Amino acid sequence: MQAKKKKDNRGRVLWTGESQRKSDLIYQYRYTDENHNRRYIYNADLDVLRKMEETIVKKKESGLNLAKPKLTVNELVDSYLATKQGVRYNTKKGYATIRRHIKESGFGDRRINEIKVSDAKFFLTELQANGIGYSTITSIRGVIKPAFQMAFEDDIISRNPFLFGLKGVVNNTTKERKALTIEQQALLLEFFRTDKTYKKYYDDLVVLLGTGLRVSEFCGLTLKDIDLENCSIDVNKQLHRTREGEYYVEKTKTKSGCRVLPITSDVRAALEHLVAKRKKFPAGESIDGFNNFIGIDKNKNPKVALHYENELRWALKKFRKKYLELEEFNVTPHVLRHTFCTNCESSGMDIKSVQYLMGHSDARITADVYSHARFENVVASLNTVSDLIYEKIEAA
């Protein structure tokens, strides 16, 4: 006789190990840990509970015993990262770097049940003292903190020692990303337009500065993505190259990254020039099913971020010699994107429109990270408000 399948109060079939308490309708999942001890997890939402179940299954598949008494930080981090499936290439590379820093520091050899808050803080401060950058330390903490939280939720440790904030523990040495002023943009564009050596990169500069595209999105543009008649471009992918020289296409950074961008007449003209002078992509060749990329290098391979970074770096050496007062002047493809966003904000464009153009998933990113009100813009706005007030006073 076939066993009757268990269902919840909404008629949904419960999986093996799942049940629903009649008293409060809370769902629970029963499983056996690596030491053959029976454990339970609970949640009022069945979908959330099943995500928790997936994490437990992935930890078991990793082959690491989270419940053993001498579990080290290295083993805990490896177990946590084993639950991260389907991550992008660059993310995997980032995880490998984080693993290396933890292991080389010696902190990774320590047992997790011996780590105190003071130990955790000293670990991060020691990383900085050894020359590890603030952003890298942030990334390391971004892995090790949830790894310890996982151990806490599994009742392996009594508290998570990494729950403190970074402020006051390590110094934020990140340099503020500055947008180019209108005057600096004009000088840069004129230099690229007229310089005998670097004018061949002028159209690239116009497109990057005039669209705010991520450089990987610019690299991913193909002939099909450009609609010169309707003055728009379809942003739907990114093109990258690995350190080993392998090209690959992936989705935009976020779902919001897929967008159709309107383009100005200047950008349209620059794209026309790029299309007209581009080298042909080898017939019959494609990268993950895509071909006819806009940017092609001298070897008839698609251009990637490094090409544009190098173009700017070479040109800036000559630019600084011409404009000695701008010897600290620095421009990267991301600075151009940052400048585009600030230009939009300074023009009075509403934040949701800027968010769309930038392909940000959250308007707070647009407001907090990229756009910065300039003093002269604040003065102009304040004077406008003042004029309106006094006009009304005089009219009264």
Each residue's pLDDT tens digit, 241-252: 988 889 999 999
pLDDT score at 389: 47
What's the confidence (pLDDT) of residue 336?
Answer: 94
Structure tokens at 276: 């007209």
Instruction: Point out the residues that are catalytic.
Output: 214, 253, 334, 337, 360, 370
Q: What is the pLDDT of residue 258?
A: 93
Contact 316, 330 (CB under 8 A): yes
Neighbours of 58 (CB within 10 A): 15
Work out the average pLDDT over 222-235: 94
Q: For residue 35, which of 159, 156, 160, 158 has the smallest C-alpha distance?
A: 156
Determine the pLDDT at residue 85. Answer: 76
Q: Give the whole-angstrom CA distance, residue 183 versus residue 301.
A: 35
Task: Give the residue with greater pLDDT, 8 vs 279.
Answer: 8
CA-based nearest residue to 122, from 145, 105, 139, 101: 105
Domain span(s) for CATH 1.10.443.10 in the chain: 182-375
Q: Is residue 101 within 8 Å of 127, Cβ to Cβ?
A: yes
To the nearest whole number, what is the mean pLDDT of the chain?
85
Helical residues (DSSP H) of 130-201, grouped into ranges: 134-153, 182-194
Is 50 exceeded by the pLDDT of residue 357?
yes
Indicate where the chain has its CATH 1.10.150.130 domain(s): 62-174
pLDDT at position 386, please?
A: 46
| Other Cβ atoms closer than 10 A to 73 | 25
pTM, two decimals, is 0.69
**Rounded average pLDDT over 369-385:** 51
Least confident of 42-46, 118-122, 373-377: 373-377
Helices and strands, number each (H, E), in the chain: 14, 8
CATH superfamily of this structure's domain 182-375: Intergrase catalytic core (1.10.443.10)
The residue among 349, 316, 335 whose CA lies nearest residue 179 is 335
Q: Are 97 and 136 in contact (CB under 8 A)?
A: yes
Query: Where do the CATH 3.30.160.60 domains begin and end in the chain?
Result: 1-60
- Among 3.40.630.30, 1.10.150.130, 3.40.50.300, 3.10.310.10, what is the CATH number of 62-174? 1.10.150.130
- DSSP state letter for 391: H
Identify the pLDDT of residue 376: 52
Which whole-number Å values give the CA distances from 358 to 216, 343, 345, 370, in the listed order? 13, 12, 11, 10
Name, of 146-155, 304-313, 351-360, the range with top average pLDDT: 304-313
CA pair distance 92, 237, nearest whole angstrom: 19
Q: Are 149 and 112 in contact (CB under 8 A)?
A: no
pLDDT for the residue numbered 396: 46
Q: How far apart are CA 153 and CA 354, in angstroms?
A: 40
* pLDDT of the residue at 234: 95
Closest listed residue to residue 187, CA positions, set 327, 323, 325, 328? 323
Summarize pLDDT for 101-148 with one digit per residue, the tens.
Answer: 999 999 999 999 999 999 999 999 999 999 999 999 999 999 999 999
Choice among 71-85, 259-273, 367-381 with the minimum mean pLDDT: 367-381
> Is the pLDDT at 367 greater than 80, yes or no?
no
How large a percentage of the chain has pLDDT more than 70? 85
Answer whether residue 229 shows pLDDT above 50: yes
The CATH superfamily of 1-60 is: Classic Zinc Finger (3.30.160.60)
